Structure 1
Amino acid sequence: MKSVLALLQFCTSLPLGRPVEFDHFARRSYLYPIAGYVIGGIAAAVVSVIASPVVGAAVALATALVLSGCNHFDGLLDFGDGLMAHGSREKRIAAMTDRTTGAGAVAAGIIVTLIAFSGLQTVAYLPAAILIAEVCAKTAMSYLTTLGAPFREGIHSYLHQFARPWFLVPATLLTLPLFLLPVPPAGVALALAVTAAIVALMLFLSRRLFGGVNGDVVGASNEIVRAGVILLLALL
């Protein structure tokens, strides 16, 4: 329970009492999907009483962002700057890790948010969609924490040193309850496949552009996977 509490204190803005030692979660990063169930579950409960799909979509995204403290969204903005920067690997890393917000950050934030917002308006069952998307997003963070060799010191490198290849198994097993939701099982399976595909793409881009992964890349994967899964569910 200390590991789960440390995870939620790290991934959410929920008032959870006295801080628990971060190492309880750092050694068990395969627990990331649990944070997805908590954030997505709260967002699903909130929007289940909203009749308007437009308002529901906006509230679902707002709830997910607020509950996560916008930390992963900040990673998306930084990743956007690094992705759009021109020049050497060093210049891209500098663009991603500095404190300024450039055009790449703005574009990344707008594009990903628009895809998620428009997709949520057209899904068959909005509460299930936001829950599936959040769990998949946190699963992607677990995968990247395990597979993404860091290019600099930071939170990601600290988590990565404890991660083991077998962490992929329990992280994946934690997604199985999604198949109990009132959506076609094929849709959930495709959502998990999209999650794996986006993780592979993020690993490829990060290694090529930055020489590895950092916390910004992991945070960006959360936002991108959420939007990608929602888009998939909207198109099915």
Structure 2
Amino acid sequence: MSALRALRRRRRELQVAVMLLTRLPAGRLSGDAPALREARWAFPLVGALVGLIGWAVFAGALAAGGSGLLAALLCLTITVLVTGALHFDGLADFADGIGGGRDRAHTLEIMRDSRIGSYGVMALILASGLWTAALADLEGTAGPLLFVVIGALSRGVMSALQESLPPARADGMGHLAAGRSRAGRGALLVAVLLSVLVAGLAGLAVVAVCAGVALALGAIARRRLGGVTGDVLGAAQLISEVAAWVVLAVLLPG
């Protein structure tokens, strides 16, 4: 019975992760929902699912005779729809705050403002443009494994930042998901190992890119904010995903 209860608990945590990171139907949760920290282990799994959906649209568009550019734009579109533009919103708020904030309090205030500024607009344009251009260049190379690996590891960056930094606020997503998670660390390690095993040097390159983004954004968040917020996590996910596609477009033949 204890194993069955544990399995049910994990299923509920997976539901929470799907509800948080996507707009996909995940059913209803009866009783008290698991804490976000407890659901962190499922972030890479949900990212792999989002990546697989993106690949299906990308490959379908190519199979139907569409160009690499059109397929990449459709992949970006379905990713935005499936995730509810969650990470794009985080990137815009993060860019506005870091770009325009005078100090910690002012930066956090800007990031909480729902309006978008010039830094946020440019960040979204650059992220969307780089993603589309890189994926279009990989028209003949980007198979399902790369989509799954990048989707999983870019969500793993969020988990890594939550493991290593405190929340910057006493409320919000960063606070709700605060705390260390043994299951989260284990899932991230499994995602890294599997990525290298199934995708070889390309998987290793994605691991290196995601680690670099985590270190860089973690340092910025610590210095400017004192920790992480939901916007920091969203920005980290999207930046690592875009950066991974750009690096692969440079390294791999199209």
Q: Do they fold alike, i.e. is TM over 0.5?
A: yes
Shift of 1:166: 6.9
State how far apart, in whole Å, the 2-side matches of 1:172 and 1:65 are. 27
- 5 Å-filtered alignment, 1:11-90, equals 11-19=21-29, 21-23=32-34, 25-51=36-62, 52-90=67-105
Which residue does the alignment assign to 2:6?
none
* Pick aligned residue for 1:102 from 117, 120, 127: 117
Bigger mean CA deviation after superposition, 82-91 or 201-210: 82-91
User: Is residue 89–residue 234 contact of structure 2 (8 Å, CA) maintained in 1?
Assistant: yes
When Rg is computed on C-alpha atoms for both structures, the one with the higher figure is 2
Shift of 1:179: 4.4
Bigger mean CA deviation after superposition, 121-130 or 140-149: 121-130
Which residue does the alignment assign to 2:222?
207
Q: What does the per-residue CA deviation read over 1:117-176, in whole Å, with 9 as the maximum and x for residues that have no partner? A: 111011242343433321121111111121121110222212113x23673332120344
Which residue does the alignment assign to 2:158?
141
State how far apart, in whole Å, the 2-side matches of 1:108 and 1:10 are. 23
User: Is residue 130–residue 230 contact of structure 1 (8 Å, CA) maintained in 2?
Assistant: no
Which residue does the alignment assign to 1:187?
202
RMSD value over aligned CA atoms?
1.9
Shift of 1:26: 3.0
State how far apart, in whole Å, the 1-side matches of 2:74 and 2:142 are. 11
Q: Per the alignment, in what secondary structure is the counterpart of residue 177 of structure 2?
A: helix
Whether 1:222 and 2:237 are equivalent positions in the alignment is: yes
Aligned residue-pair number: 233
State how far apart, in whole Å, the 2-side matches of 1:22 and 1:68 are. 20
Bigger mean CA deviation after superposition, 23-32 or 95-104: 23-32
Bigger mean CA deviation after superposition, 89-98 or 213-222: 89-98
State how far apart, in whole Å, the 1-side matches of 2:35 and 2:196 are. 29
State how far apart, in whole Å, the 1-side matches of 2:147 and 2:137 are. 12
State how far apart, in whole Å, the 1-side matches of 2:182 and 2:223 are. 22
Moved >4 Å (runs of 4+): none
* TM-score, with structure 1 as normaliser: 0.91
Q: Per the alignment, in what secondary structure is the counterpart of residue 27 of structure 2?
A: coil
- Alpha-carbon distance change, 22 to 105 in structure 1, aligned in 2, over 3 angstroms: farther
State how far apart, in whole Å, the 2-side matches of 1:49 and 1:180 are. 26
Shift of 1:24: 5.5
For structure 1, the 5+ residue unaligned runs are none
Q: Per the alignment, in what secondary structure is the counterpart of residue 129 of structure 2?
A: helix
State how far apart, in whole Å, the 1-side matches of 2:207 and 2:224 are. 26
Whether 1:160 and 2:178 are equivalent positions in the alignment is: yes
Which residue does the alignment assign to 1:172?
189
* TM-score, with structure 2 as normaliser: 0.85
Q: What does the per-residue CA deviation read over 1:210-233, in whole Å, with 9 as the maximum and x for residues that have no partner? A: 221101000111110110100111
State how far apart, in whole Å, the 2-side matches of 1:216 and 1:86 are. 14
Letter in 2 for 1:156: G
State how far apart, in whole Å, the 2-side matches of 1:25 and 1:97 are. 20
Letter in 1 for 2:82: L
Whether 1:5 and 2:15 are equivalent positions in the alignment is: yes
Which residue does the alignment assign to 1:125?
141
